A and B are shown apart, each in its own frame.
Chain A
Amino acid sequence: MQYPKALEDLISEFMKYPGVGRKTAERYAMFSVIDLKNESINDFSQALISAKEKIRPCNICHHLTDKETCDICSDGTRDNSKIMVLETTKDVFSIEKSGTYRGLYHVLNGALSPLNGIGPNELNLVSLWKRLEKDDVKEVILATSATQEGEATAQYIKRVLREVEVLVTRIGYGVPVGSNLEYADDQTLNKAIENRRVF
């Protein structure tokens, strides 16, 4: 049996979301139609529209914000001498949640991957070089992921920054805190051994 067209349209809208397949989309659609009150539906659609309208990348670091410049970049108490380079805006939230880092960020919006059509010009790199022209930045912390793409991106930035007087560091990768060595896979262990330090 086929769904009525309006319901089918709603299902295909939900299926556009990452991680949502047909079954889940059907549940969401049914839930919207049967369980949600009219006002909730109204709030939901308003929230979607206003988020899309108001949220945009920060004009300095490209982190998502509802202002011209994001709260982190405009926070005067943060350490202006450090910039942490990240792949996505989600990563900013992860680092912020951990609470120890007090420097600034730069969101690249991806990682270098010819297979995914992402070259240097597709990333927010030019704006990063511009930020480094000012003298106050002393350290660039490369926190791209420990994947082939993340590693290529970190190497690429490191190579460009050879000509700039700034300390370039890479965050450590290795065994997750609170886990036993026996559960770590070979590649993680190899990385952890490679990145060992004097103790």
Chain B
Amino acid sequence: MEFGQGIHFIIGSNGEGKTNFLESIYVLALAKSYKTSDLVLIRHQEDFAKVEATVLSQSRLFDLSMIISASGKNAIINKTSQKKLSDYIGHLQIVSFLPEDMNIIKGSPRERRYFFDVYMGQMDKNYISNLGNYKYVLKQRNELLKKMNQPNKEDDLLLDVITEQLAEAARPVVEHRKKFIQEINLFLEKQYHLFSSKNEYYRIQYLPSIETEIEKVMKSKYRTDKMSYTTNFGPHRDDYDFYLNDVMAKDYASGGEQRTLILTLDMALAEMMKDRLKEYPVILLDDVFSELDYEKQNKLIQYLSKIQAQAIITTTSLHELNQDALNNVKVFHVSKGHIQEEKQHGKSSKV
């Protein structure tokens, strides 16, 4: 299948495999599923799942493929297996809106951290390795805390050493998150009116678990950590708040307002990636129309046509949309897991 510039619609009834198709692009870009386990990607009674595509990025062609099996995953660029996922991620950049993203604002801090980590990682591979390093030292420290049942000075000294390592590993992660949120707020500011003509504005606030003097704070929490056998403070407990007109979206935003906020944030992320990487990411929108009103649906289409990014949108039908906005779009139909391009769509679509 071939996708060019502009908007592509994937049309099909529920359960025909539209989302699976978007998910395969997601996996190819990020080397993981947005579901909790990568193994759910593998079809029943098969040994592995494989996704392949040729992408044009920074004026270069890359053959990407991801193979996921019970024994692990293999990320391949131009037939070469990549040892580190941080060397793989970033060749195909995406911004995605998935039904799951509706939980970001009101869901657990973990979901918010994951959401932002995905974008920071795509824009800077050092962030992926710094975060990976932090998570590894954190595992070591938590394992040590679990084993420290009787007091002894050897374990206390080792806890000190590993705490210093953890603080050292935490610093670049916290700095990166702080700077990223400052910058995304600037891009968000330019997108306030994407969907809403009202005087609404959005802001995201980064809430670091420890902001400064990380080592000192971590060392002052030994008692709490030993009692709970785990590390209670650090970037793995960071959070983000979403503000809508200076009130916390968590407490006050309606379902519709949350959706608009997240979509606006997605488009701000796309603009930020364009600014950083000099090209737009592929924009994946899963079933985004079902819950947007007519006006917002068309504003989204207008915006996507204007920026000329490659967008792939799943929907159950196009009838609800303003037909004038559907010039120059490509349409694909999905049924029973198979996908086929519609040869002629609308008045002037190209074949």
Contacts and interface: CB of A to CB of B under 8 A. Distances in A.
Interface in B113-158: 126, 129, 133, 136-137, 139-141, 143-144, 147, 154-155, 157-158
A186 B157 CA distance: 30
Task: Name A's interface SS.
Answer: helix
Interface string A107-135: 00000111100011100000000000000
A114 B139 CA distance: 9
Nearest to A190: B126
In the complex, which of the residues B136, B139, B147, B162 has the most CB atoms of chain A within 10 Å of its own CB atom? Answer: B162
Q: Is the interface of B mostly helix, strand, loop or mixed?
A: helix
Nearest to A152: B161
Contacts of B155: 119-120
Contacts of A160: 157
Contacts of A114: 140-141, 143-144, 147, 158, 162
Nearest to B160: A159
A152 B136 CA distance: 13
Interface string A152-181: 100110011000000000000000000000
A148 B133 contact: yes
B140 A120 contact: no
A2 B139 CA distance: 42
B129 A186 contact: yes
A119 B133 CA distance: 20
A25 B154 CA distance: 42
A90 to B, nearest CB: 22
Contacts, number: 48
Given A160-B157, A186-B126, A152 B162 contact: yes
B165 interface: yes
**Contact size range, B:** 20 to 34
Nearest to A157: B161
A152 B161 CA distance: 6
Contacts of A50: none
A38 interface: no
A100 interface: no
B164 interface: yes
B180 to A, nearest CB: 18
A152 B162 CA distance: 6
Contacts of B139: 115
B161 A120 contact: no
Given A119-B154, A152-B140, A159-B157, 4 more contacts: A114-B158, A121-B154, A155-B161, A155-B164
Interface of A: 112-115, 119-121, 148-149, 151-152, 155-156, 159-160, 186-187
